[in-house]
Amino acid sequence: MTAAPIATRFTELVGVDYPIVQTGMGWVSGPSLTSATSNAGGLGILASATMTYPELEAAIAKTKSLTSKPFGVNLRADATDAPERIDLLIREKVKVASFALAPKPDLIAKLKDHGIVVIPSIGAAKHAVKVASWGADAVIVQGGEGGGHTGPVATTLLLPSVLDALGPDGIPVVAAGGFFDGRGLVAALSYGAEGVAMGTRFLLTSDSAVPDAVKAQYLERGLGDTVVSTKVDGMPHRVLRTELVDKLESGNGATALAAAAKNANRFKRMTGMKWSTMLKDGRTMRKSGERTWQQVIMAGNTPMLLRAGLVEGNTEAGILASGQVVGMINDLPSCDELIQQIMTQARDRLDQLGKF
């Protein structure tokens, strides 16, 4: 039996049955996972930051061959070829463009003019207000429980602060960080959010291409087995605690920079990027004021360390991004099974709450 849809402004905005988003995770959110999520009634999002332009072009085509439902693509607004990637989304009529760093108003306007829904991820109320004023259609708000790059404020405090800042007539808010079941969805809706976004929970599905041996390592972990490290790429990054992470945490700055430079060179060779392009991207990051030059150099660590762990399954040489929610997950359902479980539980909780 298929769970009844729950309609919110977000589901109406993006054209899905359920207010559930699978986030764009580098090396993880490919056509298979994205299409499986969308086919299950949620919104799947392709992660393009670790793809070359031709790879993204092929990934969009593959996803479209696997689903007729709406899906999105996560983009780096500060990438040198961001305008070309945006043109690709327009040509391919992709439904949603999501961003970790919000694009400037002109790019938002261009996407919206062509019918593409723009959804930046933000980590502070003031950023939500800013992107709303720029024309963003909705925002994803990730609390500190979330995996990958994250902030210090828990979802239970960050979410209401954003909702209060945007006001009752503000753009739709999707909550992320710590969500994995129907109880969390109902809690987010009760705060005033209009959906939830999940990364780690979708990584741990049978539709995820992450090696089974790596998934098994995730399933063994508890609530205290993640750490927020700044030694991976200079920014707060929540990952599973491993021997490599412990070594990075105890290492000195010079060693970390040397490793980052080596990994940046490996990423350059793998993607075919030119040093001039990488330097342009670095200057763009610096101009945004978000990173120091040391952090820009260390950013070269992230793609290769994640690839080693999540693609090659080499957890001794790679890192495993993870939300704290990993300690609450013990199975590997399909995306369809997962979403149905969440919606059924959400309906049960709403029925129970109706008795009070």
- For the beta carbon of residue 104, count every other beta carbon within 10 angstroms: 10
Pair (135, 242) in one structural domain: no
Pair (139, 283) in one structural domain: no
CA distances from 343 to 38, 227, 310 (A): 15, 30, 28
Tokens representing 144 are: 């500190």
Is residue 167 exposed (0-12), middle (13-18) or buried (19+ Cβ within 10 Å)?
exposed
Residue 131: name the closest of 151, 107, 113 by CA: 107
pTM (two decimals): 0.89
CA distances from 162 to 37, 168, 179 (A): 27, 11, 17
Round to whole Å and give the CA distance between 16 and 43: 7
Residue 183: inside a domain, yes or no?
A: yes
- What's the confidence (pLDDT) of residue 251? 67
For 116-152, write each residue's pLDDT tens digit. 999 999 999 999 999 999 999 999 999 999 999 899 9
Residue 14: inside a domain, yes or no?
A: yes
Tokens representing 21 are: 């988003």
Backbone angles phi, psi at 216, to 5 degrees: -60, -35
Tokens representing 209 are: 């291409």
Task: List the domain range (segments joined by +) for residue 244.
Answer: 222-321
Angle at 76 (CA atoms; ends 302, 256), nearest 5 degrees: 20
CATH number, domain at 48? 3.20.20.70
Pair (40, 154) in one structural domain: yes
Tokens representing 159 are: 């979410």
> What's the gap between Cα 109 and its chain centre?
22
Pair (252, 337) in one structural domain: no
Pair (17, 122) in one structural domain: yes
Pair (59, 173) in one structural domain: yes
Residue 3: inside a domain, yes or no?
A: no
CB 303 within 8 Å of CB 26: yes
- For the beta carbon of residue 150, count every other beta carbon within 10 angstroms: 23
CB 214 within 8 Å of CB 313: yes
Residue 305: name the closest of 254, 247, 250, 221 by CA: 247
The C-alpha torsion from 340 through 322 and 197 to 98, rounded to 10°, is -130
Residue 4: inside a domain, yes or no?
A: no
- What's the confidence (pLDDT) of residue 295? 55
Backbone angles phi, psi at 140, to 5 degrees: -105, 125
- What's the confidence (pLDDT) of residue 259? 54
Residues 6+ apart with CB under 8 A from 228: 144, 150, 236, 237, 238
Tokens representing 213 are: 């041996």
Q: Based on the structure, what is the number of domains in the chain?
A: 2
pLDDT by 10s per residue, the chain, length 356 = 699 999 999 999 999 999 999 999 999 999 999 999 999 999 999 999 999 999 999 999 999 999 999 999 999 998 889 999 999 999 999 999 999 888 999 999 999 999 999 999 999 999 999 999 999 999 999 999 999 989 999 999 999 999 999 999 999 999 999 999 999 999 999 999 999 999 999 999 999 999 999 999 999 999 999 999 987 777 888 999 988 888 877 766 555 555 555 545 554 454 444 545 444 444 444 454 555 555 555 555 677 778 888 998 888 777 899 999 999 999 999 999 999 999 999 999 999 999 88
Backbone angles phi, psi at 122, to 5 degrees: -135, 160
- What's the confidence (pLDDT) of residue 291? 54
- What's the confidence (pLDDT) of residue 331? 98
